[in-house]
Amino acid sequence: MNVRAHISMTFHLDKCIGCHTCSVACKNLWTDRKGTEYMWWNNVETRPGTGYPTGWEDQERFKGGWEKKNGQLELRLHSRARGLTNLFYNPALPELDDYYEPFTFDYQNLFSAPEGDDQPVARPVSMITGEPMNLEAGPNWDDDLGGSNLYAQNDPNWVGVAPEIQAQMAEIERVAFNYLPRICNHCLNPACVAACPSGAIYKRAEDGVVLVNENKCKGWRMCVAACPYKKVYYNWATGKSEKCILCFPRLETGQAPACFHSCVGRIRYLGAILYDADRIATAANAETQELVQAQLDAILDPFDPQVIAAARANGLGEDWIKAAQASPVYKFVKVWKLALPLHPEYRTMAMLFYIPPLSPIVSSIEEGLVRLELPPEKVDFELFNHLEKARLPLEYLANLFAAGNVEVIKPILRKLLAVRIYKRRQSVEGSIDPATLKIVEAAGTTPEEIEAIYQLTTKPTLQERFVVPPYHREMATEVWNDPLAHKGETGVGFIELPVRGD
C-alpha cells in the first residue's frame, strides 16, 4: 500500500443553477491575459449539449484519454514514436474555431464617432487581429439551449438512448437539461502528463494537483489533444500550454479555489482523500463496466488503522490524516456512494466527482394542459420505482458518469430520491409514514444517513464544504510568491512578463 493524499472535489449537480459565477471568478483571477482569453479553466455547460470546446467528447476526432489495446493501456493519441513524428503537425489538435475567436467591443466608437443621423454602435473586434468580426461563437454559446437541434441533439452521449426518447427531449414542452460545471479533473492517471513530449506536466504527490511547468513546456501541444476533457489550453500568444492549477496558491494559504469559494449554489465540496498509488495501474486498466468500482476501491478509508499507519510511513502528517477523515468528498464518494467521476471510460481516473441530477417525470400535453402521467401525490414514490420515467434518461446520465452502466446510476438516484421523500414527509406532514420508511430501506439507507446527507447537502458551513489541510508553507522547497503577484503574469509561479519568444 502506497498511501498518498489528494485534494479531491465533489460537485452536486442538483444544486447547480448555472450562474457561471465560478467561471467569472476563475477568469478574473487567472485567464485575463493575452493569449488566454478563450481559456475557460472553469466552464459550465448545458447538458444535453455539445459543451466547450464544441463536441469535446468526440474522442474519435480529438483522440483524448486512454484505451485498452490487447489488454495494455495506451494513449489514444499516439505511441511514443508517433508522438515525436507528430510534432510538426498534430492531427488531433482542436482549432481555435472549435472554441471561439476571442472578441471585445469597440466601445471607444461610442464616444469618438462623428456626429451623424444614426446612433454609433460598438462593433465586435477580434482580440487576436484587432479587426471587426462577425460573432459566430462565444463563451456559453449554447447556454440553456437544451433540446436545440444544433447543440443538444449533437451531444455524443445519446448513444444507447432510444430514438423516441431523444425525439421527446427535443419537444419544447418536454425539454429538460441540467448544468455541468467542469474544471480540470486532476486525474490520477492523467493523459496530458503522459502525452507531453517535454515532460513538462507533472502531478504533485502531496496533493495531486496537475500542473504545467511553463519553463519546460516547449509548445508541442500534445497535452491539448490528449486530455479527453479538453482542459489543457494552448496560449497562442506565448506558445505555452496552460491549465487549471486548482488555485494552488490559495490552497496553500488555507483557502478554497476561487471557483469553489464563489459558488453561489454552494454545489462544490473540496477535501483531501487518501488513495493507494499502487492500485492506479490496475484500476485504470479494469473492464469498462467495472471502472467506477475499481477507482472507488483505490480510495482508502482514512479511519482504517492500517491505512493511517501506511500514510504516516509515507510522510503524511497527522493534520492531513485528520483532514482526510473530515473530508466531505470522502463522505459523498465512499461513505454514501453518491458521486461519480465524469466519463470514467476515458481511464484517466478523474478525481472530480459529480452527484448526478434528479429530474422531474415525463409529462404530456392534453388539450393545452400539462398532464403529469402520474397522480401528483404519488409522483415521488412512482418516480422512485420507475426511474426510467425521469425526464433526463437514465442511459444519458449513465453515458456521462458511468461508462454507460445504468446499474451504477440507479442506486444513486434512488438514494437521492429517498432523501427528498423522507425530508419532504418530515417537513410537510411532520411524521414519517411506513411507506416512506419502506422507500428508505429500499434505497439501502437509514434515517440517520439521510439526516447526514441532508445536512451536508442543504446547509453545510464553509468549513464543512472546504476542508483544506494545512500546507506547511514553511517547509516548502520553494517559497511561493504572494498569490496576488501572479495576476498578470503566467499564473503558475513564474515571475516574468509572458512575452512571446525572445
Partner 1 sequence: MNWNILLFQVFPYVALALLIIVSFQRMRGKPFSVSSLSSQLLERKLLYFGSVPFHWGLLIILLGHLAALLVPQGLLLWNAVPMRLYLLEITGLALALWTLGGLLVLLYRRLSNRRILAVTRPTDVIVLLLLLVSILTGILTAVMYRYGSFWFPSVFTPYLWSIFTLRPRPELVADLPFWIQLHVFNFWVLLAVFPFTRLIHILTVPLGYLWRPWQLVIWVRKPRRLQPIPPVAPPYPTSAKPQAALQDKGGAYGSD
Residue 427 is given by DSSP the state I
Out of 135, 171, 287, 315, name the contact with partner 1 by CB under 8 A: 315
482 binds partner 1 (CB under 8 A): no
Q: How far apart are CA 31 and CA 39, in angstroms?
A: 7
Task: Return the SS3 of 226.
Answer: helix
Pick the closer one to partner 1 by CB: 136 or 478: 478
**Per-residue interface string for the shown chain with partner 1, residues 241-280, x marking contact by CB under 8 A:** ------------xx----------------------x---
Q: Is 484 in the site for partner 1 (CB under 8 A)?
A: no
**What letter represents residue 48's amino acid?**
P
Which residues touch 20 (CB under 8 Å, ≥6 apart)?
44, 140
Of residues 89 and 111, the one with the C-beta less far from partner 1 = 89
Cis peptide before 197 (omega within 30 of 0): no
Q: Give yes or no for a contact between 146 and 177, defined as CB atoms under 8 angstroms apart.
A: yes
CA angle 74, 76, 78 (to 5 degrees): 85
Q: Is 100 in the site for partner 1 (CB under 8 A)?
A: no
Q: Does 189 bind partner 1 (CB under 8 A)?
A: yes
The x, y and z cell numbers of residue 393, run together, are 434518461
Of the candidates 69, 80, 378, 386, which one interacts with partner 1 according to CB under 8 A? 80
Cα(360)–Cα(192) distance, integer angstroms: 38
Least distance from partner 1 to the Cβ atom of residue 88, Å: 4
Q: Does 104 engage in binding with partner 1 (CB under 8 A)?
A: no
Does residue 206 bind partner 1 (CB under 8 A)?
yes
For position 82 contacting partner 1 by CB under 8 A, the verdict is: no
The count of chain residues that interact with partner 1, using the rule CB under 8 A, is 66
Which CB sits closer to partner 1, 132 or 444?
132
Task: Compute the distance between CA of residue 307 and CA of residue 275 in angstroms, rounded to an integer.
Answer: 9
Please say whether the beta carbons of 175 and 59 come within 8 A. no
- Residue number with CB closer to partner 1 (127 or 361): 127
5 binds partner 1 (CB under 8 A): no
One of 199, 378, 429, 487 touching partner 1 (CB under 8 A)? 199
H runs (alpha helix) in 287-445: 291-298, 305-313, 318-325, 328-330, 379-385, 394-401, 406-424, 434-442
Report in angstroms how near the CB of residue 203 gets to partner 1 at its nearest.
Answer: 5
Distance (Å, whole) CA 52 – CA 271 = 27
Q: Return the number of other C-beta atoms located less than 10 Å from residue 207's C-beta.
A: 21
Nearer to partner 1, 169 or 209 (CB): 209
296 contacts partner 1 (rule: CB under 8 A): no
Coil, strand or helix: which one is 354?
Answer: strand
Examine residue 136 and tell whether it contacts partner 1 (CB under 8 A): no
- Asked whether position 90 contacts partner 1 by CB under 8 A, the answer is yes
Give the integer Cα–Cα distance in Å for 201 and 199. Answer: 6
The verdict on 84 binding partner 1 (CB under 8 A) reads: yes
Question: What residues line the site for partner 1 (CB under 8 A)?
Answer: 80-81, 83-84, 87-90, 93-96, 128-131, 189-190, 193-194, 196-199, 201-206, 214-221, 224, 234, 236-240, 253-254, 277, 315, 319, 470-473, 475-478, 490, 494, 496, 498-502
